[in-house]
Amino acid sequence: MKRFFLTLAALFCAAWSWAASASDTLTFAYISDTHVGSGSGADDLEACVADMNTLPEIRFVIHAGDVTEFGADSELELTKSILDHLKMPYYIVPGNHDVKWSESGGNTFNRLWGRSVFTFDAGGIRFIGTDSGPNMRMGMAQVPRESLVWMDSLVRATPKDMPIVYITHNPVEKSLSNWDHVYDILKQGNLVLTMGGHWHSNNFKTYDGIPAVIGRSSLASTPKFGGAGYNLVRIDTRTGEVAIYNRQAGGPTAEKPWCTFNLFTTADRSVPQSRPDYSINQQYPNVEVVWQFQDKADIGAGFATDGRRIFYATAPGVIKAVEAKSGKPVWEFPTGGRIYSFPYYADGRVVCASTDGNVYCLDAKKGKELWRYRTEKGIVACPLVHQDAVYIGSSCGKFYAIDLRTGREKWTYEGIKGFIEARPCADDRKVYIGSWGNEFYAFDLKTGALVWKWQNGGSRMYSAAANFPVEAYGKIFITTPERATRALDKETGREIWFSKAPNGRESQGLSLDGKTLYVKTMLTNELAGVDTQADTCLIRWRCPLPNDADMDLAPAEILSNGNAIFVPSSVGKVYAVAADGSRVLWARKLSNTVINHILPLSEDTVVVSTMDGIVACLKYTDR
């Protein structure tokens, strides 16, 4: 804490020394969406770096994210090796491509660049950059809760009249789920500009009274630009005049700027702050909040429960237990990495994995470590406990069976393509799981021998990797990001049927009797009920959901307690649908971010978590 305040004090002093010594023109390079790992991404970035090094006027470089194509460790390491050839300082934040499909859960980015936020002063201006996800779970972009807390402390320590320029990958508008929280924090200070990327084109916008610059991709294949390149930003620090020029790698700089404005006078912080709409909560009085709390960090996974306690983990890597009746804390267990793994409860034990490379088994009552199993790389996969064994995938190409009692390895399968994120399903003979390598596997439960392997080809982003597979009537059901649902023969892996009719992306679940597969649609805001016994995709019913989102990407599993089906969303809404799919029983909006999990606790109670760290217990009646 002392070091933190000393850092803030140093920044405060540095602001005025910069203002006093700065030359009239502050010039920096502004690059985004380099997508190293795709096509010419690495070559284009190398060309841009070489070009920047020829321009002595450039004081520093800002990279606004989507550093890589898939967030793979090798892609990140290659990017850093290229950027480290810059002769001037550079500042970088991750984009959605760097963290959504990250085999390390974002750990590698932080290892290479220190952290996923930055701040520095130049020309009397404070530059603040943060990540904006979405971290591991598909949904709208979101600045993590812990980054908001950091930024709030920083803005409060910034002189009130000192101009603030904010950088994050996603433009700060309604496609950033917590845009209002970002502005609430930054408008405490003298916010004059936001900068981002993501759109791969040059744009100047105004959001909530604040000017926004959205920059081009560096890729040579980007339309309009005719080659690899970036932007040069020139600010007259005396008058506030800003001019932004497109620069081709190897030259030339465009003769005319594509954007000009005044940094000191354009922003209008008196414009009323826009907010998400929570009016749906007045439409369903039959559901109430029993208890609710806001964690200080993001939550990137779901729950487990032993009936008395609820177990969850924060994204920064702490496994926690709270009382089911009150939400009061019981214990905490910190790990050495980030956590996107769902905890699993079995026989007095809680099993959870971390990106520090360990699978942990804790005593459910006290949170004491019983054992840990070390793997070669960080783990973002979710465990399944079945027949006294823990089954879990990894990011090092392996799938493990671990003895629940002792933590000793039962067997390991080597040869997984890509990394594993989801929780497996199992029957009495086999365990089933998909990977981010377009492959889906069936292993012998006792020996780990590969029984069959299915592949869907195409882009690895269409892998059956984020959704939790389910088994019923001799079939394994998976829903993949190309909006396709499949039934595979669980004995052979043969594709029994394939359909895009349900229009789901990843979110699916199974009724308690196994007769109905639930699929949440991506574009039509519906829940579809699919017959699991049929040998074709037979949709028995569709239930419209009161969702105003253009598309819903939340990947969370869909669970039921027998009388209601609980459906997640990417805009913080929880839906309860009648068991027969005939109507919506109730809905509740808790946040504006991804719903991680809706876990039934009883016939009228569920516990819910959101990506931005809200945990709530809801009780309802069937009105």
Supply the DSSP string of 98-135, one letter for each residue: HHTT-TTTTHHHHHHHS-S-EEEEETTEEEEE------
- 250 with 371, same domain: the answer is no
Q: What does the alpha-carbon distance between residue 574 and residue 606 come to, in Å, rounded to a whole number?
A: 10
The string of pLDDT tens digits covering residues 407-430 is 999 999 999 999 999 999 999 999
pLDDT higher than 80, residue 492? yes
> Whole-model pTM?
0.93
Average pLDDT over residues 91-100: 98
Cβ proximity of 86 and 93 under 8 Å:
no
Burial class (CB in 10 A: 0-12, 13-18, 19+), 205: middle
Query: pLDDT-derived band of residue 23, with 50, 70 and 90 as boundaries?
Result: low
| Token duo for residue 172 | 């700060």
Query: pLDDT-derived band of residue 561, with 50, 70 and 90 as boundaries?
Result: very high
Portion of the chain with pLDDT greater than 70, in percent: 96
The string of pLDDT tens digits covering residues 257-315 is 999 999 999 999 889 989 999 999 999 999 999 999 999 999 999 999 999 999 999 99
Three-class DSSP category at 219: coil
Average pLDDT over residues 15-36: 75
Q: Which residues pair with 318 in a beta bridge?
A: 334
Give the 3-state secondary structure percentages of the chain, helix then strand then coil, rounded to 5.
15, 40, 50
- 64 with 209, same domain: the answer is yes
In the prediction, which pLDDT does 617 show?
99
- Residues with Cβ < 8 Å from 174, sequence gap 6 or more? 274
The string of pLDDT tens digits covering residues 231-240 is 999 999 999 9
Identify whether 375 is part of a domain: yes
The string of pLDDT tens digits covering residues 524-536 is 999 999 999 999 9
Three-class DSSP category at 182: helix
Number of separate domains in the chain: 3
Residue 356 is part of a domain; what is its CATH number?
2.40.128.630
Q: What does the alpha-carbon distance between residue 297 and residue 613 come to, in Å, rounded to a whole number?
A: 6
Identify whether 19 is part of a domain: no
In the prediction, which pLDDT does 126 show?
99
Identify whether 288 is part of a domain: yes
Q: Which of 165, 152, 234, 155 is nearest to 195 (CA)?
A: 165
| Token duo for residue 366 | 């006290």
- 62 with 179, same domain: the answer is yes
The amino acid at 46: E
Could you tell me the strand order of the sheet in which 241-248 lies? 90-92, 61-63, 25-31, 229-236, 241-248, 259-262
Average pLDDT over residues 421-441: 98
The string of pLDDT tens digits covering residues 322-350 is 999 999 999 999 999 999 999 999 999 99
| Token duo for residue 190 | 């003298």
- 297 with 350, same domain: the answer is no
Q: What does the alpha-carbon distance between residue 314 and residue 611 come to, in Å, rounded to a whole number?
A: 9
- 483 with 613, same domain: the answer is yes
Cβ proximity of 199 and 214 under 8 Å:
yes
Q: What does the alpha-carbon distance between residue 84 and residue 192 come to, in Å, rounded to a whole number?
A: 30
- 420 with 490, same domain: the answer is no
| Secondary structure of 14-27 as H, E, C letters | HHHHHHHHCCCEEE
- 214 with 246, same domain: the answer is yes
- Could you list the residue range(s) of the whole structural domain that residue 369 is in? 305-427
Residue 577 is part of a domain; what is its CATH number?
2.130.10.10
- 97 with 187, same domain: the answer is yes
Identify whether 328 is part of a domain: yes
C-alpha distances out from residue 553 to 192, 221, 519, 568, 623, Å: 32, 28, 12, 10, 29
- 348 with 298, same domain: the answer is no
pLDDT higher than 50, residue 135? yes
Instruction: Please identify which residue in the block is written with the tokens 């309009």.
Output: 224
List, as own/partner pairs, every contact residues 588-591 make where C-beta atoms lie below 8 angstroms and the sequence separation is at least 24, other chains included: 588/280, 588/281, 588/284, 588/287, 588/289, 588/618, 589/276, 589/278, 589/280, 589/281, 590/292, 590/614, 590/616
In the prediction, which pLDDT does 12 show?
44
Identify whether 298 is part of a domain: yes
Identify whether 446 is part of a domain: no
Identify whether 309 is part of a domain: yes
Residue 75 is part of a domain; what is its CATH number?
3.60.21.10
- 48 with 178, same domain: the answer is yes
- 585 with 531, same domain: the answer is yes
Q: What does the alpha-carbon distance between residue 219 and residue 44 come to, in Å, rounded to a whole number?
A: 6
Cβ proximity of 321 and 310 under 8 Å:
yes
- 245 with 297, same domain: the answer is no
Q: Which residues of 508-541 are buried (b: 16+ CB within 10 A; e: fewer)?
A: bbbbeeeebbbbbbbeebbbbbbbbeeeebebeb
Q: What average pLDDT does the chain have?
A: 95
Q: Which residues pair with 529 in a beta bridge?
A: 518, 541
Q: What does the alpha-carbon distance between residue 470 and residue 479 come to, in Å, rounded to a whole number?
A: 10
Identify whether 441 is part of a domain: no
Q: Which of 623, 549, 502 is nearest to 175 (CA)?
A: 549
The string of pLDDT tens digits covering residues 535-555 is 999 999 999 999 878 889 999
The amino acid at 261: F
State residue 18 phi and psi, 5-degree precision.
-65, -45
C-alpha distances out from residue 179 to 173, 207, 212, 235, 273, Å: 6, 10, 13, 26, 10
pLDDT higher than 70, residue 3? no
Q: What does the alpha-carbon distance between residue 312 and residue 610 come to, in Å, rounded to a whole number?
A: 12
Instruction: Please identify which residue in the block is written with the tokens 């089933």.
Output: 432
Q: What does the alpha-carbon distance between residue 308 and residue 477 come to, in Å, rounded to a whole number?
A: 32
